[in-house]
């Protein structure tokens, strides 16, 4: 009789491992909830619980994980945003006008040794040497304002 319970525990453990691998491939955190349920169900046979008890524990723990663990993980993961990279990292930076930006036209802005085509949100010209802040980027054209 002990072998049957041990075999059931191992079977649930294998199922849990498969769910964990699936979660690592999908990253949705839904399959992680089912993994928690299968992991909890793997302990039931060790305490003499039958198949109905195993399925009940599997369902209950999967639902508990869905409603309590997943929202916490999602909130935690969303607060850790990836840093901006490449050209998007230029937004918010300060540069100097290297070619006058005339109202309604383009000029140039130097930032960290790179020279960018730029337009202004202001209705006045921005002379060479003025400090500007990058507000937006469309392709390779920056939108700036004086600071």
pLDDT of 3 > 90? The answer is: no
Mean pLDDT of the region 102-119: 95
Q: Are 75 and 91 members of one domain?
A: no
What CATH number is associated with residue 122?
A: 2.40.50.140
* DSSP of 19-37: HHHHHHHH--SHHHHHHHH
Q: Are 12 and 70 members of one domain?
A: yes
Q: Are 70 and 95 members of one domain?
A: no
Contacts of 37 (CB under 8 A, 6+ apart): 57, 58, 59, 60, 61, 62, 63, 65
- The pLDDT, as a whole number, for residue 81 is 62
For the entire predicted model, the pTM comes to 0.55
Q: Are 53 and 90 members of one domain?
A: no
- The pLDDT, as a whole number, for residue 82 is 60
Ranges of H-type helices in 42-88? 51-64, 70-79
| pLDDT (tens digit per residue) in 64-99 | 999 999 999 998 888 666 666 667 789 999 999 999
Report the chain's mean pLDDT, rounded to a whole number.
92
Mean pLDDT of the region 123-130: 95
Asked if 54 and 48 count as a contact pair (C-beta separation under 8 A), the reply is no
pLDDT band per the 50, 70, 90 thresholds, residue 5: confident
Q: Are 65 and 6 members of one domain?
A: yes
Mean pLDDT of the region 93-119: 95
Q: Are 90 and 75 members of one domain?
A: no
- The pLDDT, as a whole number, for residue 123 is 92
Q: Are 19 and 55 members of one domain?
A: yes
User: Of 53, 79, 105, which marks where a domain is finished?
Assistant: 79
Range of the structural domain that residue 38 is part of: 2-79
- The pLDDT, as a whole number, for residue 14 is 97
d(CA 123, CA 145): 10
Q: Are 12 and 72 members of one domain?
A: yes
Q: Are 9 and 73 members of one domain?
A: yes
Q: Are 75 and 105 members of one domain?
A: no
- The pLDDT, as a whole number, for residue 78 is 80
Q: Number of folded domains in the chain? A: 2
- The pLDDT, as a whole number, for residue 135 is 96
| pLDDT (tens digit per residue) in 10-31 | 999 999 999 999 999 998 899 9
Asked if 130 and 97 count as a contact pair (C-beta separation under 8 A), the reply is yes
Q: Which residues of 19-55 are buried (b: 16+ CB within 10 A; e: fewer)?
A: bbeebeeeeebebbbbbbbbbbbbebbeeebeeeebe
- The pLDDT, as a whole number, for residue 2 is 62
Asked if 31 and 23 count as a contact pair (C-beta separation under 8 A), the reply is yes
């Amino acid at each position: 009789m002990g072998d049957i319970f041990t075999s059931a525990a191992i079977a649930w453990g294998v199922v849990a491992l498969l769910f964990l691998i699936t979660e690592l491939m999908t990253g949705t955190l839904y399959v992680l909830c089912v993994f928690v349920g299968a992991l909890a169900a793997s302990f039931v046979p060790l305490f003499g619980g039958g198949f109905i008890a195993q399925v009940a524990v599997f369902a209950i723990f999967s639902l508990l994980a869905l409603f309590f663990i997943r929202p916490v993980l999602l909130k935690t993961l969303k607060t850790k945003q990836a840093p901006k990279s490449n050209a998007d990292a230029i937004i918010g930076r300060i540069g100097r006008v290297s070619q006058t930006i005339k109202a309604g036209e383009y000029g140039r802005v130097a930032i960290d040794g790179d020279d960018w085509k730029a337009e202004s949100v202001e209705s006045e010209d921005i002379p060479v040497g003025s400090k500007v802040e990058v507000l937006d980027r469309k392709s390779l054209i920056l939108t700036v304002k004086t600071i």
